[in-house]
Structure 1
Amino acid sequence: MKREEREMQGRTAIVTGAAGGIGKGIAQVLLREGCNVAVLDWDEQEGERTAQALAASVNDAGRVLFVQTNMSVEADIVGAFEQTAKRWSRVDILVNNVGTHYYHPIEQIKAEDWDRVMATDLRGYFLTVRQAVPIMRRQGRGAIVNIASVHANQTAPHCSAYAAVKGAVAAMGRSMALELAPEGIRVNTVLPGYTRNANIERQLAGLTEEERAASEREMSRNIPLGRLAEAVEIGDAVAFLAGDKASFITGASLTVDGGESSHLQWQRQQDQ
C-alpha cells in the first residue's frame, strides 16, 4: 500500500500486551497502516525486542515506543499514557489486548488467582480507557478496541475465570460505546478464536514435519476453515474497527475464529 493511501497515517495507537502473540500482530498491522505505536507490556526484555523489530520493519525508530507496564497497576498505566502523549502529542487508538490464560477446575481456583485475572484483564482495561477518554475527547474523536475471546459467548469446562472476564470485557465495551458515542469515541470488541502464539510454537517445537502437521490438524479439528488464526489476522480485524471504514460501527463484537463458534451446525452438516 502506498504511503499516501494509508488512512491511519500519523495517528497514534497504544497496544497493551504487545510484546508477543496477538498483541504483537496487532501492533504490526497498525504500524503497517501508518500509525505510530506505543507497545505496552510487563516483560521488559521481550517488549524491547518487539519494539526494535517493529521499528526495523518500517525503518523508523521514531514510530515505535516501548513502555514497561503492569496492567494491574494504575500508576504504570498513567505513566504509559504520559510517555505516549509526550512523544506524539495525541492518542487516536487504544487496543486493550493484555490477557491472562487461566484454566482450572472451580475448586482449585484460589481467590487471589481469581482477583489477579480480573485485575489484569478487566480492571486494567477500565483503567486504560479512563486514561484515553480525556485525550480523545479533546481531539473530538477516537477508537477503542477491546480484545475478548470466543469464550465470552460459548466456553468449556475449567474456564470459569477466563470466560467470566472475557464476557465482562464484551459487556463493558457495549456500555462504554453508548456512553462515549456523543463524544465521537467508538468502542468495539474483537473475539478471537484459537490463534497461533508462542505457547503453541513451544508445543510444536522439536516435532517432525509429519508430527507437527498432525498436531496442527488436531488443534484445528473444530475450526471449519481448517487452521489456526495468525496474529496479524486478528490485527487486520482491529485495524478495520479502529479505522474510518468502520466509522458507523460502535458497540459491536466481531468474532474472528474461522467459523469455530458455528462448529456444531457445521459438524452436523459434515456428518450427514
Structure 2
Amino acid sequence: MVDPKEPKVALVTGSTSGIGLAIARRYAEAGYRVAVNGIETPEKAAKALATIGGDTPHAPSYFAANLADSAESTGLASSVLERFGRIDVLVNNAGIQKVAPVDELDPLDFQRIVAVSLDSAFLTIRAALPGMKERGFGRIINIASAHGLRASPFKSAYVATKHAVVGLTKTVALEVAEQGITCNAICPGYVWTPLVAAQVADQARVHGMSEEDVIKKVMLAPQPTRRFVQPEEIAEMAFYLAGEMARSITGTTISIDGGWTAK
C-alpha cells in the first residue's frame, strides 16, 4: 500500500518543454518527487529542472533517455525505480511529429514516431506495473491527441500512433481495473508547444500556404474556440487524474481540444 505520508513519485516522459514541462511542474508544486526526462544538453536540462522545481518541496531529478531506442525506454523506467524505489504516476508524454504525404514519408521517420510515442509507452508501462500492482495503487496517463480520435492528411505516422496509444490505454485499464490502478488518455487539440511551432513550416510547404494561413486555416480551423490550448490546461487534468478522486475514471479518453471532436 502507498504510505500517504510519503511523497508520490511521478515519471513524466518528454518533460523538458511544452506539455510535459507543465505537467512535471504541476506535480512538483503539489509535492511529488518528479522524474524529468529528455535528451537535452546539460545546460538545457538544468534550465528545465529550475523551471519545474525552483520553489517546490522536492527537487526534481533529470533522467536522460532517447525514447526512440527501446533499450533506453526500458532503462529509463529502471533508473527511476532504482533511484526512488517506485513509480506511482506514469505520464507518457514524449512524442515527435513529421508532416508529409504518405508516399513521401521516409519509413525511418514512421518507425521513429512509433518508437517514441507508442513503443516507449508500452515499455514504461510494462516496467511500472509490477510495483503498482504490489502497492495496490497506480496512475498511468498517456498523452494521446485529438489525432488519436480523428485523422488529418499528411500525418499518417502520428495519427496511426496516437490511435494505437488510445487502444493501449483501454487494454491496460481493463487488465488492472481491480488492482487500484487506472489508465487514461488525454487527447489535446492543438497546444502551442515547440512541437506544434516546428510543424508550421512543414504544414505551409505541404499545403502551399503561408505560415500565418496555416495557423488560422489548418491548425485552428478544427477547434471551434479558435484558440490554442495552453499546456497548463493539460497539466491540470493530468494532476486530477493522478489523484484519489479520479479512481473511477479509467480506460477513457479525455478531450481537451476546444470542441474539435464535438463536430
Q: TM-score band (shorter)?
A: 0.7 to 0.9
Structure 1 match to 2:26? 29
CA shift digits 1:130-162 (9 cap, x unpaired): 110112122111000001100111121111111
Contact conserved, 2:118 with 2:165, CA < 8 A, in 1? Answer: yes
Contact conserved, 1:37 with 1:65, CA < 8 A, in 2? Answer: yes
Secondary structure of 1:133's aligned partner:
helix
Structure 2 match to 1:53? 51
Secondary structure of 1:183's aligned partner:
coil
- Rounded Cα–Cα distance in structure 2 between residues aligned with 1:201 and 1:112: 22
**What is the TM-score normalised by the length of structure 1?**
0.82
User: Which structure has greater helix proportion?
Assistant: 1
Contact conserved, 1:8 with 1:35, CA < 8 A, in 2? Answer: no
**What is the TM-score normalised by the length of structure 2?**
0.85
RMSD, aligned α-carbons: 2.6
- How many residue pairs align between the two structures? 248
1:244 is aligned with what amino acid?
Answer: E
Mark the CA change 1:57 to 1:140 in structure 2 (over 3 Å): closer, same or farther.
same
CA shift digits 1:163-211 (9 cap, x unpaired): 00000000111011111223221110000111011356687xxxxxxxx
Is 2:144 the counterpart of 1:148? yes
Contact conserved, 1:18 with 1:47, CA < 8 A, in 2? Answer: no
Secondary structure of 2:67's aligned partner:
coil
Residue 216 of structure 1: CA displacement? 6.9
Is 2:92 the counterpart of 1:96? yes
- Rounded Cα–Cα distance in structure 2 between residues aligned with 1:110 and 1:214: 26
- Rounded Cα–Cα distance in structure 2 between residues aligned with 1:79 and 1:159: 29
Contact conserved, 1:35 with 1:63, CA < 8 A, in 2? Answer: no
- Rounded Cα–Cα distance in structure 2 between residues aligned with 1:40 and 1:249: 26
1:72 is aligned with what amino acid?
Answer: A
How do 1:7-26 and structure 2 match up within 5 A?
10-26=7-23
Structure 2 match to 1:136? 132
CA shift digits 1:226-265 (9 cap, x unpaired): 3211111111111111211211111011001111222x4x
Residue from 70, 77, 91 that aligns with 2:73: 77
Q: Which consecutive unaligned segments of at least 5 residues does structure 2 have?
A: 201-211
Structure 2 match to 1:44? 41
